Amino acid sequence: GTFRIASSQTEQAGKESKLMAVGFVQPMSKRTDLYATYARVSNAGGAAAALNGSTTAANASSTGYEFGIKHAF
């Protein structure tokens, strides 16, 4: 399988958001994969960013999980 790691950071006018994501993809066959991802957005300075483009309370964090199967036809 393959581990995936992603991180990003944005800052505007003192508002700071940090994203960290970790995932794993496990091939099951030539055309089918299982996958899982964990992601977290942390805010500071009054930022209110959240996962999937939504918003949360200022300085709060947002956490998400994703599990699935990908099959190519």
The whole-number pLDDT of residue 9 equals 97
41 with 35: CB under 8 angstroms? Answer: no
The whole-number pLDDT of residue 55 equals 86
Per-residue model confidence as pLDDT tens digits over 5-42: 999 999 999 999 999 999 999 999 999 999 999 999 99
The whole-number pLDDT of residue 37 equals 97
pTM of the model: 0.83
* Type of residue numbered 1: G
Per-residue model confidence as pLDDT tens digits over 46-60: 999 999 888 899 999
